[in-house]
Amino acid sequence: MEKTFNLQNILHNTFLFSNLDSTSIEQIAAESLRVDIVRGELLFSDGMEALAFFVLINGMIKIYKISDEGSEQILHIHQSGDIIAEGAIFDKQKYPANGIALQNCTLVKIPKDAFVSLIMKNPEVALKIMGSYSRRLRMFVSMIEDFTLKDLEQRLVKYIIRNSKKKGAINYCELNVSKKELASLLGTIPETLSRALTGLKNKGYLTESEGVFAICDLEKFQTLL
């Protein structure tokens, strides 16, 4: 571990800083420090003044709040590679929850002062960080769309099975509503429905001819549910 602990490499591999040039990385690295905490140790507590944020190198950090009734609400479990509590630096003065080590952890601690002064002196660093955020956000939007599309696919498969008729060995579903109406029936927009239908055709589950869908193999088609 000791041999390979290189602050600049770690920062450069953190999504927030991946866009920065080596001078900016060096400046952040010069002010950052390695922190090791043991299982059960608090990294920060709810309401504490937020003087730093962290990159988790090894271990797991649980973020949680304690309700007025004393029950614990887990907000998040951070894994290695995650950035922890950077939001508290950008627009809050205090940590909004507790952070505790679920395992022995190694982290990089980035002091708020050093980070903010780098931004104030070099605003182009901020533009690069916003670029990283923008890319990350787009990636997550696309992951969420994949999940949603999977749900839509299942609704679509259900609809096709429910409305199918048997002709010889083949199950047919005649679309007696427009694709726009079907999209609205399934709670989506026509473009997303088209993507789901194209996906099913490309994967060999369906063939389509003039609004009539033939299910290639009903048993296999049903496994999608």
Smallest distance from its own copies to CB 128, Å: 6
Contact 155, 197 (CB under 8 A): no
List Cβ neighbours of 79 (8 Å cut-off, separation of 6 or more). Answer: 56, 60
Distance of closest approach, residue 73 Cβ to its own copies, in angstroms = 10
Distance CA 130, CA 90 (A): 12
Name which of 131 and 204 has its Cβ closer to its own copies.
Answer: 131
Q: How far is the CB of 89 from its own copies (least distance, A)?
A: 8
Token reading at 194? 């088209």
Q: How far is the CB of 189 from its own copies (least distance, A)?
A: 7
**Comparison of 5 and 140: residue with beta carbon closer to its own copies:** 140
Q: Which CB, 13 or 103, lies closer to its own copies? A: 103
- Neighbouring CB atoms inside 10 A of 4's CB total 7
Query: In sequence order, what E strands does 14-148 have?
Result: 33-37, 42-44, 52-58, 61-66, 72-78, 83-84, 98-101, 105-111
Helix axes 123-162, 190-202, angle to 10 degrees: 70
Whichever of 38 and 74 has its CB closer to its own copies, that residue is 74
Which stretches of the chain bind its own copies, using CB under 8 A?
Answer: 19, 60, 62, 74, 76-77, 86-87, 90-92, 102, 116, 119-120, 123-124, 126-138, 140-145, 147, 189, 191-192, 195
Kindly tell me which of 19 and 104 has the beta carbon lying closer to its own copies: 19
Query: Closest separation between CB of residue 93 and its own copies, Å?
Result: 12
